[in-house]
Chains A and B, each alone.
Chain A
């Protein structure tokens, strides 16, 4: 089903994972072109992280979700029996399986593309992206494919993931809780409250991958509200920190091998927001949401996508 398993042409898992990452960038660019707008830079920076998590790092069961996502079922909760949770696309919950929590829901499209590239969602599922009445929302919530928690209000998903991880320890479950975060979320006070808590309560089944792309809505983070040195801050808060090149799939995968007991693991994945679509550099420094200035610019991205597809072939 998924292209990355065709082992005749793929010689290593690294190549397969890079192929998935390339597919994520292509799909997100395609949707951005079709909709004349999208969170494109986030896909460029995070594609290798998401691809590595889904193909190499996390232990997930097969998707329980329909290949074509169901429409928006109404708000979640016991008052709405029709509601469902997007985590079904990450497989069943089981004591020994991992959980995935996407924190910045603005990365939803990158995640949907990841689900497509790993065979958990049909390519046609993306046609529902940002359509009225669809669950495949632009900034996803917990009914959206792959999304367990509405993370659009930053800082809350990590704390909820910590709660889930604490509960899993109480239940003596062996699986980990993986959280994908962006660096901008570390400007939120709640994030640091949670790190304090996770260290104090020794939540060592929590593993956080951070897309350190240095970007936020107003532009470069070091011009908006500088966060560096992040590693020193996190270590001072009791985290085990591994710093990697966020486009090096082998380094991203190896990061968890260093995780010892007693502390959460934070993988700082340093990335480039225009990785794979260098064209975007012209639009810097504000890359948060890409909307083409005119048809000519849109055409240049179409040409770029064509070139990317050709490279794929």
Chain B
């Protein structure tokens, strides 16, 4: 599978070239959030804001009020935890075109509890006017700027950095409000997001070899959560629906799915894979995904539980599973 490096850094420079209204604000994390090439290319549109998170969320709002589109770059935790009131009152309430790029979602950093955004969606979902997105691969990272630019209100993106896998074809960009239908067969439905989608794809490969198909949708728009594809796939989950997220199961994708099921009276059994109401600690992504049940293994075991079957998928198979590109079955 193709691995790309620093996708956002280069894309940001290319994308912002003909957009003089776009500014970048950085909270002393310029290279760590891949904003350094923008800084070097457009120094007049780059603002070093230091460690003043509450301040620069509000400053971004002021800039947006005057017609600029500020892209705020820092780690997610330092926005939604440190500056929640500023996001709510300065940005979300007036519904300003501020774009918040929250890096280091959940297990994607070994930085431990202070750096891992495990509850950003839960915290921010309750804010009116805010659109919440999550990037899962190089294609989504490279297309998210285009996807959100037309939105008239504020956007928070769970963003990835460094080396990223390409799960989705480069010509199938992220589209706001549209889940990717990756598989239409099977009596169990899986909704996965972010880093968990790659794991779900691995699990599907293993289960397919056992003759088990999963209906699989990748969710990049976490709010609004009104895509009819999701409702349709939930309604078809005869043997259960499994959500899988790099986030606490309280208030994120799993919760939104529970609300969808309940609101439509679907009566579908729901299993939520994700961080189970606990803090993580500093360790590698593969270790954390295994330890906290966010990996292909966890999905395999959950499918086995729903089907009351042991598929005898061993550790060697889990370790060896390789992926091809995940083509969406959806027609754009």
Which residues in A have some Cβ–Cβ distance to B below 8 Å? 75-79, 142, 149-150, 152-153, 155-157, 159-168, 170-171, 189-190, 193-194, 196-197, 200-201
For the residues of A in contact with B, the DSSP-based class is: helix
Question: Is B61's CB under 8 angstroms from A163's CB?
Answer: yes
Query: Residues of A contacting B93 with CB < 8 Å?
Result: 75-77, 150
**In residues 173-213 of chain B, which contact A (Cβ within 8 Å)?**
none
**Contact flags (1/0) for B52-89 with A, using CB distance below 8 Å?**
10111111111111111000000000000000011001
Complex-state Cα separation, A6 to B307, whole angstroms: 87
Question: Is A77's CB under 8 angstroms from B62's CB?
Answer: no
Query: Residues of A contacting B96 with CB < 8 Å?
Result: 77
Complex-state Cα separation, A159 to B152, whole angstroms: 22
Q: Who on chain B is nearest to A76 by CB? A: B94
Complex-state Cα separation, A196 to B56, whole angstroms: 11
**Among B52, B57, B95, contact of A77 (Cβ-Cβ < 8 Å):** B95
Question: Is A167's CB under 8 angstroms from B68's CB?
Answer: yes
Known: A150-B93, A190-B86, A194-B58. A163 touches B63 (CB 8 A): yes
Q: Does B129 contact A (CB under 8 A)?
A: yes
Q: Does B153 contact A (CB under 8 A)?
A: yes
Question: Is B152's CB under 8 angstroms from A162's CB?
Answer: no
Complex-state Cα separation, A153 to B153, whole angstroms: 21
Q: Does B302 contact A (CB under 8 A)?
A: no
The 7 closest A-B pairs by CB, nearest first: A163-B62, A77-B95, A159-B58, A167-B66, A193-B55, A193-B52, A78-B152
Query: Residues of A contacting B11 with CB < 8 Å?
Result: none
Q: Shortest distance in angstroms between B31's beta carbon and chain A's nearest beta carbon?
A: 20
Complex-state Cα separation, A156 to B65, whole angstroms: 14
Query: Residues of B contacting A165 with CB < 8 Å?
Result: 62
Question: Is B58's CB under 8 angstroms from A160's CB?
Answer: yes
Query: Residues of B contacting A201 with CB < 8 Å?
Result: 47
**Among B65, B129, B153, contact of A164 (Cβ-Cβ < 8 Å):** B65
Q: Does B50 contact A (CB under 8 A)?
A: yes
Query: Residues of A contacting B267 with CB < 8 Å?
Result: none
Q: Does B128 contact A (CB under 8 A)?
A: yes
Question: Is A166's CB under 8 angstroms from B129's CB?
Answer: no
Question: Is B54's CB under 8 angstroms from A189's CB?
Answer: yes
Complex-state Cα separation, A79 to B153, whole angstroms: 8
Q: Who on chain A is nearest to B92 by CB? A: A77
Query: Residues of B contacting A193 with CB < 8 Å?
Result: 52, 54-56
Query: Residues of A contacting B95 with CB < 8 Å?
Result: 75-79
Question: Is A168's CB under 8 angstroms from B66's CB?
Answer: yes
Complex-state Cα separation, A166 to B129, whole angstroms: 25
Question: Is B59's CB under 8 angstroms from A197's CB?
Answer: yes
Which residues in B have some Cβ–Cβ distance to A below 8 Å? 47-50, 52, 54-68, 85-86, 89-90, 93-96, 128-129, 152-153
Query: Residues of B contacting A163 with CB < 8 Å?
Result: 58-66
Question: Is B63's CB under 8 angstroms from A167's CB?
Answer: yes
Question: Is B153's CB under 8 angstroms from A156's CB?
Answer: no
Known: A79-B153, A160-B61. A155 touches B52 (CB 8 A): no
Question: Is B55's CB under 8 angstroms from A190's CB?
Answer: yes
Question: Is B49's CB under 8 angstroms from A171's CB?
Answer: no
Complex-state Cα separation, A168 to B66, whole angstroms: 7
Question: Is A162's CB under 8 angstroms from B59's CB?
Answer: yes
Complex-state Cα separation, A153 to B88, whole angstroms: 10
Q: Who on chain B is nearest to A165 by CB? A: B62
Question: Is A197's CB under 8 angstroms from B63's CB?
Answer: no
Q: Who on chain A is nearest to B83 by CB? A: A190
Would you mind naming 15 contact pairs between A and B with Cβ atoms under 8 Å apart? A77-B153, A149-B90, A149-B94, A150-B89, A152-B89, A156-B54, A156-B85, A156-B89, A159-B55, A160-B61, A162-B55, A163-B61, A164-B65, A194-B59, A201-B47
Question: Is A164's CB under 8 angstroms from B66's CB?
Answer: yes
Complex-state Cα separation, A163 to B48, whole angstroms: 13
Known: A170-B68, A190-B54. A153 touches B85 (CB 8 A): yes
Question: Is A153's CB under 8 angstroms from B89's CB?
Answer: yes
Q: Shortest distance in angstroms between B61's beta carbon and chain A's nearest beta carbon?
A: 5
Question: Is A79's CB under 8 angstroms from B62's CB?
Answer: no
**Among B50, B67, B89, B90, contact of A197 (Cβ-Cβ < 8 Å):** B50
**Among B50, B52, B86, contact of A156 (Cβ-Cβ < 8 Å):** B86
Query: Residues of B contacting A171 with CB < 8 Å?
Result: 66
Complex-state Cα separation, A159 to B65, whole angstroms: 12
What 6 new A-B contacts, CB under 8 Å, besides A75-B93, A160-B90?
Answer: A76-B93, A163-B62, A197-B49, A197-B52, A200-B48, A201-B47
Query: Residues of A contacting B55 with CB < 8 Å?
Result: 159, 162, 190, 193-194, 196-197
Query: Residues of A contacting B152 with CB < 8 Å?
Result: 77-79
Q: Who on chain A is nearest to B90 by CB? A: A156
Complex-state Cα separation, A78 to B60, whole angstroms: 17
Q: Who on chain B is nearest to A191 by CB? A: B55
Query: Residues of A contacting B89 with CB < 8 Å?
Result: 150, 152-153, 156
Q: Who on chain B is nearest to A194 by CB? A: B55
Question: Is B54's CB under 8 angstroms from A77's CB?
Answer: no
Residue among B49, B50, B55, B128 with most chain A CB within 10 A: B55
Q: Shortest distance in angstroms between B177's beta carbon and chain A's nearest beta carbon?
A: 15
Complex-state Cα separation, A209 to B128, whole angstroms: 33
Complex-state Cα separation, A149 to B67, whole angstroms: 16
